[in-house]
Amino acid sequence: MSGGTILRRMARRLAATFGAAAALALLAAHVGSPNVFYEGNAGPYPVRVVIRPPGVIPGLAEISVRVPNGDVRKVTVQPVRWDLGTKGAPRADPALPVAGEPRLWSAELWFMDFGSYSVHVAVEGAAGTGTVIVPVPAVATQTLGMTRGMALGLAGLGAFLFVGALTIVGAAVRESVLPPGEVPDARRRRRSWIARAVAVPVLALALLGGSRWWDAEDRAYADNLYAAPETEASVAAVDGERVLTLAITDTTWSRFSPLMPDHGKVMHMFLVREPGMDAFAHVHPVRADSLRFQLTLPAELPAGTYRLYADVVHESGFPQTFVEKVAVPAAAQAGAVVARDADDSWRVGGGEAGTAARLEDGSTMTWERDARLAAGRETTLRFRVTDPAGAPAALQPYMGMLSHAAVSRDDGSVFVHLHPAGSVSAVAQQLFAQRERGDTTRTADGQLIMRAPADHALHAAGAQPGAVSFPYEFPKPGRYRIWVQVKRDGRVLTGAFDADVP
Amino acid sequence: MPGASTLPAPARAPARDDARAPAASVPWHVLAVLFASTSVIVGVLWDISWHQTIGRDTFWSYPHMAMYLGGVVSGVACGWHVLHTSFAGSAQDRAGTVSFWKYFHGSLGAWVCIWGAIAMLTSAPFDDWWHNAYGLDVKILSPPHAVLALGILAIQLGAMLMVLSLQNRHGDQRAYRWMFAYAAGLVLINLTTMSSEYTWRSAQHDMLFYKVVAGVVPLVLVAPALAGRLRWPATAAAAAYMGVLLALTIILPLFPAEPKLAPVRFPIDRMMPPQFPLLLIVPALAIDLVLQRWGARKKGWMLAAVLGVLFVATFFVAQWPFANVLNWLATRETILHQELRPYMAGDGALSRGEFWSEASGMVIVKGLGIAAVLAILSARAGVGWGNFMARVKR
């Protein structure tokens, strides 16, 4: 049974138990963290876009756009589906300035269909018009219970209508065909009782039919709830090395569009050891065939049970995260050098409870902790890297980005993979942009070609050397660990920090 | 004893309608419920057009307000009528009503209207919750919409019954006969709108279309044909159905509008009209003709069989070739604007003025056979219902 099915069933049982209008967030593209964050530029304007997708589809997405600098006159948003582009999109909606917040605009957009959507944000002002595309997967992730009050109210009205209908039937048979003034005789009154008696099972049957119809709609909805395709993960010893295989066992896999490599990797996989999250790996399996991905595990990774999160992006721009648990046996030979992807990285050890963490090459990574960190509150995770001498470190692009971060809650219910640009997939953005222009090309075997990804190394305007930041919002309170990865002198360094989010 | 009236035995002989009573002006609450019945069904058709053109709406959109207005007017008018009759009216007033829970008196139609208004009210919070739980509706019929539909139907049936009791008590008043036929036409619009998913012009060469129409329509044409006192009651009802729909078909596209939701597969620029009304006036004429010649005892399966078979035959002969005309209309811009389609409908048979499927030979014969059976059953229900309605005096 896959993680997806387990969580779905658990959610329904919880929703039934609480009975309250408790929305339970299920798995989404990242895990347990459905909101989309983007920080970058819309033409000449720096923007920070946060999109809170609806829990149900069709549903309303809330979009907030923050423009920290620039003389801005108007901000508009437009929902664009991956296969129809802006031609198949309605006119852009204006985003309204938020009272009390000088540089914040907000809007709501309907997402009508399941699938790969994007929001085109346009900023108009003194410096001209700038646009940015923010991909948003539109999936249903929530089930809603009915509050006790509403259920009782509806049941009460329903009972009233039931009794009312019976009374009307009785009155119709008994009196309505009599001329005015005539009193119904015994025979007529008896017929009225019979009519009502017959009406009871008929109405009851109608109610039963209605109830089963509701159940059928509920089941159909639950079937459409998003859950990552079912997978199986296992580790086998091959030639003295530990080879991890992730196999997709879900028959719905063929309905998705093919996978796109994101920054040169078809899959970004993260391994987090249970229960203490004391071993972490960021690795890149390759395809063994159309349904299987394989990877040789680094020898330094200790044995244990790991939570596995694998991020992929489809050609439609739709991102997915596979979630699995896998048992990793001990390495055959300690210290053996294993042939692997040069971009694979890992870290063994706990998280820094304070602000400064020592990195593998002697550098120090410092987290400028936000004093008002809280669940449901937008924040920016800021880190500074200083070399062993104490000067700001010169950071190199690591897979095209200045830095990568992974955030995991201690129970695994939240896992996100962040970049300085936010939680969006850069290749998905490029995809939407290229489709809009009309230029996409395919190879002879049908693979969509993307231009080499732009170097995002100096993404943030006025980036200071050694400083990296990630826009984020913790979805719920709890204990989290944040791994931040940078590259210095050709070596990938990973710092880990703990956060208790109230 | 339940249902027993507390009135003394009437001084004059019963079982005779008071056609010789002084001709009273039409009670205001009856006019109010006819207005409500119109408002409510226009609201439904307008709302469908809104969702096919603009896409998104709010609780207070104009079509919704037309529906709420119908519900409120109907509920208030009938509520007033019931309370006034029960507690402020004369004994003679109460004589012409049915009693409800011993203390309340009102005409039968009024009770049905009140039930309908309460059902409409119940559906509102239920629908709101449904959208939060399962998303905005992508098809017309969902459980909360079914409750709303029942409420709307009840309001319309109640209006029909209220006019009916007046028609049956004041036999010489021609106004009531026309009002009854009009009210029946509005109910016909309701039921055909509920089945509009199956009656697109591109479906009209498929036998499913004929089966659906044969199951739904005869009930609503035969019943008023039996209960109405016009010479051509079913024809009048079908004419009312056609008239209201044609009016909306011409009026709605006069208003420019554009989609506010993605995906926009057709850039519609004016309000989408309803589908062109079905040629129900042809089988309605046939039904009226049969009933004029049938004789005094208009009951039973024989009558239903004749009416059912005749319905299917005349409707098929009229609608099948007319469907080609409709598809031809769809390929050019006319005042009826049948070339428009909902914003989310892509290119296909509908946009090209073609049929989704074309039945032929034995498929048609078998289909018509099944349709005939459905029509006979529907007509039999109509005969029973119509005979009941012919006797309603309260």
Which H or E run includes A220? helix A186-224
Contacts of A221 in chain B (CB under 8 A): 133-135
What ipTM is given for this predicted complex?
A: 0.77
Q: What average pLDDT does the structure give for chain B?
A: 88
How far apart are alpha carbons B18 and B12 in whole angstroms? 11
C-alpha span between A483 and A486 (Å, rounded): 10
Cβ within 8 Å, pair A110-B136: yes
C-alpha angle A314-A316-A321 in degrees, rounded to nearest 5: 35
| Residue A21 confidence (pLDDT) | 29
In this structure, the strands spanning A279-283 and A286-289 are: unpaired
Taking the C-alpha atoms of residue B307 and residue A496, their distance in angstroms, rounded to an integer, is 82
- The share of chain A scoring above pLDDT 90, in percent, equals 18
pLDDT band at A141 (very low <50, low <70, confident <90, very high): confident
The answer to whether A255 and A267 are in contact (CB under 8 A) is no
Token duo for residue A307: 């939570």
Q: What is the pLDDT of residue A440?
A: 62
Tokens at A324, concatenated: 């699995």
On whether the CB atoms of residues B163 and B179 are closer than 8 A, the answer is yes
pLDDT computed for residue A448 by the predictor? 61
Instruction: Name the helix (H) or strand (E) containing A105.
Output: strand A104-111
Average pLDDT of the residues in B58-83: 90
pLDDT (mean) for B80-100: 83
Amino acid at B90: S
- Give the one of A150, A172, A193 whose C-beta lies nearest to B129's C-beta: A150
The per-residue pLDDT for range B212-243, each reduced to its tens digit, is 999 999 999 999 999 999 999 999 999 999 99
Q: Do B99 and A179 touch (CB under 8 A)?
A: no
Please judge whether A140 and B135 are an interchain contact, meaning their C-beta atoms are less than 8 angstroms apart.
yes
Query: Which pLDDT tens digit goes with each residue over A408-421?
Result: 998 888 898 888 88
Residues 6+ positions from A461 with CB-CB distance below 8 Å: A41, A46
The amino acid sitting at B240 is A
Lowest-confidence range among A218-222, A307-311, B184-188?
Answer: A218-222
Q: Which residues, at least 6 apart from A205, have a Cβ–Cβ distance to it below 8 Å?
A: none
- Largest CA-CA distance found in chain B, in angstroms, rounded: 72
Q: Which two tokens stand for residue B361?
A: 């030979």
Residue A58, token pair as written in the block: 């069709």
Collapse the DSSP code of B41 into the 3-class scheme (helix H, G, I; strand E, B; otherwise coil) and give the result.
helix
Whether omega before A475 lies within 30 degrees of 0, making that bond cis, reads no
- For residues A135 and A132, give the distance between their C-alpha atoms in angstroms, rounded to a whole number: 10
| Predicted local distance difference test score (pLDDT) of residue B203 | 93
The band of A467, judged by pLDDT with boundaries at 50, 70 and 90, is confident
State which amino acid sits at residue A363: S
Closest CA to B253 of B274, B276, B273: B273
Q: Chain B: residue nearest A213 by CA?
A: B143
> Chain A closest CA to B359's CA: distance in Å?
31
C-alpha span between B163 and B175 (Å, rounded): 10
Residue A390, pLDDT score: 85
Measured between its terminal Cα atoms, the distance across chain A in Å is: 33
Model pLDDT for residues B274-306, shown as the tens digit of each residue: 999 999 999 999 999 999 999 888 888 999 999
Strands A491-501, A478-488: pairing is antiparallel
C-alpha–C-alpha distance, residues B340 and B49, integer Å: 11
**Each residue's pLDDT tens digit, A231-244:** 999 998 888 888 99
What chain B residue is nearest to A110 in terms of C-alpha separation?
B261
Q: Mean of the per-residue pLDDT values for chain A?
A: 81
Tokens of residue B37, six digits: 């019945």
pLDDT tens across A218-233, in order?
888 777 777 778 899 9
Q: What is the pTM (predicted TM-score) of this model? A: 0.74
A332, A471 contact by CB (below 8 A): no
| A139 inside 8 A of chain B by CB | no
Cα distance between residue B173 and residue A45, in whole Å: 76
User: How far are the Cα atoms of A19, A158, A222, B131 from residue A144, in angstroms, in the given order?
Assistant: 9, 21, 11, 10
Per DSSP, the three-state class of A172 is helix
Average pLDDT estimate for B52-67: 87
Closest listed residue to residue B43, CA positions, set B70, B21, B78: B70
Q: What is the DSSP string of A234-264?
A: EEEEETTEEEEEEEE--GGGGGSPPEE-BTT
Residue B85 tokens read as 């009759």
Angle, CA A301 vertex, CA A295 and CA A305 arms, to 5°? 85
Measure in Å the smallest separation between the Cα of B81 and chain A Cα atoms. Answer: 16
Q: What is the largest CA-CA distance in chain A?
A: 108
Q: What value does the mean pLDDT take over residues B96-122? A: 87
pLDDT digits (tens, 9 = 90+) for A355-390: 888 888 888 999 988 888 888 888 889 999 998 888
Residue B197 predicted with pLDDT over 70: yes
Q: Which of A84, A148, A161 best tests the B interface by mutation, with the highest count of B CBs <10 A?
A: A161
Q: Is the pLDDT of residue A167 over 70?
A: yes
Q: What confidence tier does A344 reach under pLDDT thresholds 50, 70, 90?
A: confident
H-only helix segments in chain B: 28-53, 62-83, 91-95, 108-134, 143-169, 174-194, 207-227, 233-251, 281-294, 300-329, 349-352, 362-391
